[in-house]
Amino acid sequence: MYFCVMKRMILITFVALAFASCTKAPKPIYPVPTAEQLAWQQHETYAFIHFGLNTFNDLEWGYGNTPAATFNPSDIDCDQWAATLKNCGMKGVILTAKHHDGFCLWPTESTEYNISKSPYKDGEGDIVKELSEACKRHGLLFGIYCSPWDRNNASYAFPEYVATYHKQIDELTRNYGPLFEFWFDGANGGNGYYGGADETRSIDPDNYYDYQRAKYTVLARHPDAMIFGGPYQTVRWVGNEKGFAYATNWCNVTENGTEWQPTEVDVSIRPGWFYHQNEDAKVKTINELCDIYYRSVGHNANLLLNFPVALNGKIHPIDSARAVEFYQTISNELSHNLLAQAKVHADDERGYRFSASKVNDGNPETYWATNDDYPYGTISFSMDKPVEISRVLIQEYVKLGQRVKSFYLEGALDGEYFPIQAYDSTTTVGYKRIVRFDPVEVDKLIIYFDESRGSLCISNIEAY
């Protein structure tokens, strides 16, 4: 008798295990990210550095006629930049190797208008090299901005300039790396010095620059790099320079978009991109920077935060102190996940492999999934004792596509249920969505995913 019962139990266990292991994962809903795009999304925050002739001439958009001799930082220190950026949680840095004025921060063969004609290190300096090496020493990723528009070059808008520009891309991709991103700015054509012509020139950017070749050059040498801007971009501009991604943010641009193009939010820590002494009192406040973080990283986008290097060649102490405090504030706010030990329950599960408990197992490769005929779902977290929360963080398993269209939150304490009003919108999730709300005491948190493009695939949920 005993053996019969044992046999039956073993059989049942085998059948259950076999059933669990053959539960099929949901089919992807296209588009999906490439491995490189997903790795890039995981960087989340990194820095921009705007530095060049504009810095020394108190300009934002140099005309292309300020003498190279005016580039004269007294005390440049790329290690100070890298150490500062590291201290404020930045994963990498993108340098304006050339801005619209055409002045190159490396000793290029493509134009005379470059750092070798400046007094810096008696013409022996190369800031692209100095920063790329400092990044290696400090464990930061390195990227390059090389403005397509060149207000100095006499042949801008003619075919000769395209060859010059490609020579610059060639030098930058050949001699400095590895690169994690290459930035093609969208400002193109207009008035300028143009070798003394002093006129307005316009071009058709998508056709003029031969962006396809530019992309091949970058990717042939830096296969992991993202291309920002131009018709062959792999990541896209958010559409403003104020520091926020829109409330509804699809990596596929729109709900029915066919290409995966995650968003990058670029914003400066000061009003200008370049350093101006009269902006020393206008560095963004901690509240402003934290709001930017939640509305960029928290809205399914990467944050590219600009630091204008000052006249002496250093990141200004006001900017660095503010950025470090910003980083500490965010780190404190998101330091202790109150759902880590919670009991999780969902109204629909696609079998054991995709059970609700996968959202707080700390493993980004596992996820809770609902059945194919279930494009919504409710998940609840029960805590042993009441906790105070004011942030909820959700991540989809985006390898299978971005799916969630909207969700809403509810809390409960001692069996009393109440809605949680988020300040941030609750449309779309994607790689990451963080919503903020006034602190509430709960012993249960419920998330209703009420609309999705298919079955849910949620890899992570946290609350703080």
181, 266, 319, 396: which one contacts ligand FUL (CB under 6 A)?
A: 266
Does residue number 273 form part of the binding site for ligand FUL (CB under 6 A)? yes
CB closer to ligand FUL, 274 vs 464: 274
Rule CB under 6 A: say whether 101 interacts with ligand FUL: no
Structure tokens, 259:
């290409």
For 280, which DSSP code?
A: G
Mind giving me the DSSP string for 196-264?
A: GT-EEE---HHHHS-HHHHHHHHHHH-TT-EEESSTT-SBEE-S-SSS---SS-BTTBSTT-SS---EE
Going through 90-178 in order, the beta strands assigned E by DSSP cover 92-98, 141-146
37-96: contacts with ligand FUL (CB under 6 A): 60
Taking the complex as a whole, how short is the minimal distance between the CB of residue 284 and ligand FUL, in angstroms? 16
Nearest residue to the partner ligand FUL, using Cβ: 187
Piece of 179-187, 190-198, 377-385, 393-401 that binds ligand FUL (CB under 6 A)? 179-187
Nearer to ligand FUL, 103 or 407 (CB): 103
Options 23-31, 181-189, 217-225, 394-402: segment touching ligand FUL (CB under 6 A): 181-189
Q: CB under 8 Å to 286, separation ≥6 — which residues?
A: 322, 325, 326, 329
What is the H or E stretch that residue 66 is in? Answer: none
Confirm or reject binding of residue 271 to ligand FUL (CB under 6 A).
no
CB of 147 to ligand FUL, least distance (A): 7
Q: Does 260 bind ligand FUL (CB under 6 A)?
A: no
For residue 319, state whether it binds ligand FUL (rule: CB under 6 A).
no
We find the least distance from the C-beta atom of residue 54 to ligand FUL, in angstroms, to be: 8
Sequence-distant (≥ 6) Cβ neighbours of residue 426 within 8 angstroms: 406, 407, 408, 409, 433, 435
First to last CA, the chain: 53
Subset of 113-152 contacting ligand FUL (CB under 6 A): none
Can residue 185 be called a binding residue for ligand FUL (CB under 6 A)?
Answer: yes
* Residue 186 engages ligand FUL in binding (rule: CB under 6 A): yes
CB nearer to ligand FUL: pick between 28 and 190: 190
Contact 445, 411 (CB under 8 A): yes
Q: Are 453 and 29 in contact (CB under 8 A)?
A: yes
Of 186 and 239, the one with the shorter C-beta distance to ligand FUL is: 186
Residue carrying the six token digits 């390898």: 399
Segment near ligand FUL (CB under 6 A), from 82-90, 180-188, 257-265, 295-303?
A: 180-188
| Minimum distance from residue 48 beta carbon to ligand FUL (Å) | 7
Query: What value does the CA radius of gyration of the chain take, rounded to a whole number of Å?
Result: 26
What are the distances in angstroms from CA 362 to CA 163, 288, 340, 366, 437? 50, 30, 8, 9, 24
Q: Cβ closer to ligand FUL: 81 or 381?
A: 81
What span, in angstroms and rounded, lies between the C-alpha atoms of 441 and 443?
Answer: 7
- Residue 53 dihedral angles phi and psi, to the nearest 5°: -60, -35
Stretch that binds ligand FUL, among 185-193, 200-208, 360-368, 405-413 (CB under 6 A): 185-193
Contacting ligand FUL (CB under 6 A), which of 11, 187, 197, 413? Answer: 187
Of 17 and 187, the one with the shorter C-beta distance to ligand FUL is 187
Q: Tell the smallest beta-carbon distance from residue 60 to ligand FUL (Å).
A: 6
Q: Which residue lies nearer to ligand FUL by CB, 15 or 187?
A: 187
* Residue nearer to ligand FUL on the CB measure, 266 or 348: 266
State which residue, 88 or 265, has the beta carbon closest to ligand FUL: 265
* HSE-CB of 441 using CA atoms within 13 angstroms: 6
Residues that bind ligand FUL (CB under 6 A): 60, 185-187, 266, 273
